[in-house]
Amino acid sequence: MRVAVAADFYKPLETIANAFSRQSGIQVVISAGSSGGLYAQIANGAPYDVFLSANARYPRQLVAAGLAAGPSRFTYAQGVLVLWGAQPAPAAGPGTLRGATFAHLALANPHFAPYGQAAQEVLTRLGLLEQLHSRLVFGEDVGQALQFAISGGAQYAFVSSAQLLAAGLWQRGSHWVVPVSLYTPINQQAVLLVHARDVRAARGFLRFLRGPARPLIARLGYRLPAETGERSQSVP
């Protein structure tokens, strides 16, 4: 079974897919990229069975275009936006952004990546987008934005908490968990694609994602959508 997944959820999906495969015997092949890029691939006939987007927009558009099954669409996680810097000082945070003592700030391309769009919203709401415009560097997706900060191509990057946890970077450098009041909640949605080669396997995977995988999703750095009475989880 082939799953197209937004870059921020790639590492968590590897863990979830392994657990699902052990239980079901079904192998999961993962293709990662920006949500917008994967959406374009699916719209042009890419043979995926399931799409895990980093937002609700692209799954909704696929349903409207008749390329995905509407009843299958649901929010599997809520993303947590974090500003991260490889060095402990100056500490990542709104004061550092306002001080603008850094050369470059990385974010995912806001035209294709929901985390990049959220980062742009944060800068706009802080009144800093125009001031920092010349210092922004854009990754194709949120994974590349993190690589810019790791490599030194940018001093800070807007990334997901799950990426930092998966890479063992949560306790390194400095980070600021951006208040969700500064950006539209990142409701990451899953959907079954109508050209799925094995609908039964795909539906089984989505049931696993919606049920047994939820505690794992929370541990891997996401907030849980409150669809089964559970309280949203906190980031470590």
Separation CA 57–CA 55 (nearest Å): 6
Query: What letter represents residue 101's amino acid?
Result: T
pLDDT of res. 225: 84
pLDDT of res. 205: 98
- pLDDT tens figures, 124-135: 999 999 999 999
Average pLDDT of adjacent 10-residue blocks, the chain of 236 residues = 94 95 96 95 96 96 98 96 96 96 96 94 98 96 95 97 93 96 96 95 97 94 68 40
pLDDT of res. 231: 34
Domains of the chain, each with CATH number or no CATH = 2-78+185-219 (3.40.190.10), 79-182 (3.40.190.10)
What sign does the dihedral 163-168-171-174 (CA atoms) show? Answer: negative
pLDDT of res. 21: 97
CA atoms within a 13 Å half-sphere pointing along the CA-CB vector of 69: 13
> What pTM does this model have?
0.84
Do residues 208 and 201 lie in contact, with contact meaning Cβ atoms separated by under 8 Å?
no
3-state secondary structure of 81: strand
- pLDDT tens figures, 174-193: 999 999 999 999 999 999 99
Preceding peptide of 114 cis, ω within 30°:
no
Separation CA 12–CA 194 (nearest Å): 25
Burial of 161 per CB tally in 10 Å (0-12, 13-18, 19+):
buried
pLDDT of res. 154: 98
